[in-house]
Amino acid sequence: MKKQFLTVLTAVFSLIAFGAVAQNSDEILQKIYREATDNSQAYTALDKACKTIGHRLTGSGNGAKAEKYTYDFLKKAGLKDVRYQPFEVQSWSRNTVSLGIDAVGNDAFPAMPTATLAHSPAEANVTAPIVDLGNGLAADFEAVTMKNIEGRIVLMNIGLNDVPAGTKNLHRSEKTALAIEHGAVGVIMINNAPGKILLTGTASVTGKTIPIPAVSITNDDGIKLREELKTRPLMARIKMTNNIGLIKARNVIGTIPGGDPSAGKIVIGGHLDSWDLATGAVDNGIGSFTILDIARTFAALNLKPKRTIEFVMFMGEEQGLLGSRQYVEQAIADGSIKNIDLMINVDMTSNPTGFAVQGQPQAEAFFKAIGEKLKAIDNSFTNTFSSAAGLHSDHQPFMLQGVPVMNFSGSLPASVLKCYHADCDNMDLVDAQALKHTVRMMSMALYEIANAPELPLQKMDDETIKNFLISNGLKEPLVISGDWRWGK
């Protein structure tokens, strides 16, 4: 009888304690929502950075200013543990470029507006016939004999046009790698965004210099060029100079220690760097400055969840995931990688509506439960869940080591997305209210994740990672990039 009484008493106390925890959690979420609503600094901080620094190219003077700007922001926000993580790598910046197009037999080569794709050679002066490879997928290359590609300049879409539903695109660097493999001497890529928008981005799968020049042209010029190619053969002349050498850069890391020293840690990161054609306000200003303001929100409320949280501003993402690779390499070397329970990547995410947790379908109920709490506070959070996988952002080095990774589902208007990597990526694209909303929804979700008693996330062993990547169609791009370590 006494034993039964004690059992009942224990159950009652457990229910009371659970109710108190739930109540406290709900109260904290409301506080987070109000703090981010009333005192968000994401927009004003990003606006100031864009106006006083400009672009944030890794290794440049502007990049160094951005590193210090975010370090100072985190210190001023009240984080006690803020540090730089320096690294030195070979990097690249543009200098001069010209692209001329003319009929075979002519020698005028009138100029066409162009932008160099990153990691093109230090110097190039190439004149060769143009061959149109459509979307630049492996099948497009296979449809043309090698002799009709060797010694020519390949014309390709950056995006996809006129393909069956479900066709997977390749990254511009992977398309360039195929062009090099097939003997091309140059690459011209057509921007899919309508109009006269020039964009840039890396043409290298490794972050190292490629042997042939690669440039981009506007969609308008690409359409005209293709139409002219239908009537007569054309030649292209690409001339360029670029700066290549060792550069120094720094990831910026701010830490909020967890309440349970034995618990793991959550890494929430996004790339601070941008390309140099514009200020990178959207790519990835909205992501990195969201993270800064989430850190400020946690510090302002003196929140200390169960798990440690590291807020990371990665540099060098645009030039080959340089900063996140450095972070993971160091974490492997010092053994801290085993303590990372989850990596959350915030890259151009706006107006979050759900969770995208790569390769963790068993975690759906856990994240949906968190989503219901968020939805009760703000019903714009529709609480979707997906477990598909992708590449080419700072989550990738973590994912390849078996660390669970996620991002938030969200949306950006087409008028904003067309300026991805382009000369129009400036503050006039940033919606102040959407940025504030992103901060408050992500802050609440992060607190719930970091404070959960248990996380239903599985760290993958090597064989599981391999099968996961194959099942998500990621083997081909990883083989092309040299990141596939499982043989054939």
Question: What percentage of the chain carries pLDDT values higher than 70?
Answer: 95
Domain co-membership, 116 together with 84:
no
Domain co-membership, 69 together with 137:
no
Is 25 within the bounds of a domain? Answer: no
- Name the residue with tokens 């106390």: 13
Domain co-membership, 315 together with 335:
yes
Domain co-membership, 126 together with 178:
yes
Domain co-membership, 165 together with 279:
no
Distance CA 404, CA 357 (A): 8
Is 429 within the bounds of a domain? Answer: yes
- As given in the structure block, the two tokens for residue 342 are 């989850």
Interval 391-431: pLDDT, tens: 999 999 999 999 999 999 999 999 999 999 999 999 999 99
Is a pLDDT exceeding 90 seen at residue 90?
Answer: no
Mean pLDDT of the 34-55 span: 98
The average confidence (pLDDT) of the chain is 94
Mean pLDDT of the 438-457 span: 98
Is 8 within the bounds of a domain? Answer: no
Interval 210-255: pLDDT, tens: 999 999 999 999 999 999 999 999 999 999 999 999 999 999 999 9
Is 136 within the bounds of a domain? Answer: yes
Is 342 within the bounds of a domain? Answer: yes
Domain co-membership, 342 together with 455:
yes
Helix %, strand %, coil % of the chain (to 5): 40, 20, 35
Distance CA 100, CA 161 (A): 25
Domain co-membership, 161 together with 64:
no
Is 10 within the bounds of a domain? Answer: no
Domain co-membership, 352 together with 467:
yes
The model's confidence at residue 60, banded by pLDDT at 50, 70 and 90, is very high
CATH (domain of 123): 3.50.30.30
Instruction: Out of 242, 263, 295, pick the residue that ends a domain.
Output: 242
The model's confidence at residue 11, banded by pLDDT at 50, 70 and 90, is very low
How high is the pLDDT of residue 24? 86
Domain co-membership, 83 together with 99:
no
CATH (domain of 295): 3.40.630.10
Domain co-membership, 333 together with 467:
yes
**What's at 95, amino acid-wise?**
N
Domain co-membership, 123 together with 231:
yes
Interval 169-222: pLDDT, tens: 999 999 999 999 999 999 999 999 999 999 999 999 988 899 999 999 999 999
Distance CA 40, CA 32 (A): 11
Cβ-contact 393, 420 below 8 angstroms: no
How high is the pLDDT of residue 179? 97
Instruction: Out of 242, 267, 296, pick the residue that ends a domain.
Output: 242
Handedness of CA 327, 332, 335, 338 (dihedral sign): positive
* Pure H helices in 301-337: 322-334
Phi, psi of 303 (to 5 degrees): -80, 140
Report the predicted TM-score, pTM, of the whole model to 2 decimal places: 0.92
Please tell me what DSSP assigns to residue 468: H
Instruction: Out of 202, 217, 242, pick the residue that ends a domain.
Output: 242
- Name the residue with tokens 């938030």: 408
- Helix 2-39 to helix 287-300 angle (10° resolution) is 120
What is the number of domains present in the chain?
A: 2
Is 276 within the bounds of a domain? Answer: yes
In a 3-state reduction of DSSP, which class is residue 301?
coil
Domain co-membership, 282 together with 408:
yes
Distance CA 487, CA 468 (A): 15
Is 2 within the bounds of a domain? Answer: no
Distances (CA, A) of 428 to 356, 418, 419, 424: 28, 13, 11, 9
Give the residue numbers spanning the domain of 107. Answer: 94-242
